[in-house]
Amino acid sequence: MFERDEIPPHPEENSAEEPLKLVSIEDPMGPAAEAYRTLRTNLFYALVDDPPRAIVITSPGPKEGKSLTCANLGVVLAQAGRRTLIVDCDLRLPSMHHLFGLRNFQGVVDLLAGGYEMRELWHEPVPGLRVLTSGPLPPNPAETLGSRRFAELLAKAREEFDYVLLDAPPVGAVSDPVILATQGDGVLLVLDAQGTRKGALRQSLRSLEAVRANVLGTVVNNVDTSKKNYATYQLYTAR
């Protein structure tokens, strides 16, 4: 288990007027993109004997960067030659289609309803990276994600891809991420260095531990780079 990876702020986060961009594509030589590559390296080597393949990415609360982290991690995994699938499992407030500039007429909800193959509905915004958007929002997101059909979808995705990233809603808001945590191989908990409260983090960890989720570590987003030397990185080992 690695404890944390630190991601400096995205320049775009300073303005609510501009659409969010993926630093792994727009600024590949910048400190944020390098931090995502470090996170990728940790996934490759921190758990060599039993590497996680289906990873749930969530956060204690909203607007802490979990979807940006999921999208950028997917990009750098694909850039390293890993067959990667991102599934937008935030069936309440999906954002993957916004981040990648995709249409969201059909997606995972349509796939679960039947009549489609996965490859008919995914997009490929970056070579080697497939993105399955949410599709129309269901009236019962938690039951949808806990269904037998979703478990079958995840099993098929594991067979076809090296990594499956599940973008989940915040832990503190709904039960959906806890349900997903029981199906994935591990959970990455994304924190905002400027905004995440310790109480919210503790409560999130308790919720995940209650279902015996494998918490791989934390990603600290929105770090003040003026206080850290990003020329070097450290892998935090298991406790």
Q: At a CB cut-off of 8 Å and minimum separation 6, what does 150 contact?
A: 112, 144, 183
Using one digit for the tens of pLDDT, what is the confidence trace for 71-121?
999 999 999 999 999 999 999 999 999 999 999 999 999 999 988 999 999
| SS3 state at 189 | strand
Would you put residue 165 in left (φ > 0), alpha (ψ -120 to 50) or beta? beta
Average pLDDT for residues 204-217, to the nearest whole number? Answer: 92
Q: According to the model, what pLDDT value does residue 4 have?
A: 53
Cα–Cα distance between 157 and 89 in angstroms, integer?
A: 14
- In this prediction the pTM is 0.85
Q: According to the model, what pLDDT value does residue 100 have?
A: 93
Using one digit for the tens of pLDDT, what is the confidence trace for 4-57?
555 555 443 333 333 457 888 888 888 888 889 999 988 888 666 777 889 999
Domain 4-11+24-87+152-227, classified CATH 3.40.50.300, yes or no: yes
Q: Which pLDDT band, with edges at 50, 70 and 90, does 196 fall under?
A: confident
Listed by start position, the domains of the chain span 4-11+24-87+152-227
DSSP strands (E only) in 12-127 = 54-58, 84-88, 123-126
Q: According to the model, what pLDDT value does residue 7 have?
A: 56
Cα–Cα distance between 191 and 202 in angstroms, integer?
A: 12
Cβ-contact 183, 149 below 8 angstroms? no
Using one digit for the tens of pLDDT, what is the confidence trace for 116-174?
999 999 999 999 999 999 999 999 999 999 999 999 999 999 999 999 999 999 998 78
Q: According to the model, what pLDDT value does residue 11 have?
A: 42
Cα–Cα distance between 187 and 52 in angstroms, integer?
A: 9
Q: According to the model, what pLDDT value does residue 6 have?
A: 56
Residues in the chain: 239
Q: According to the model, what pLDDT value does residue 110 have?
A: 95
CA-angle at 168, arms to 165 and 170, nearest 5°: 140
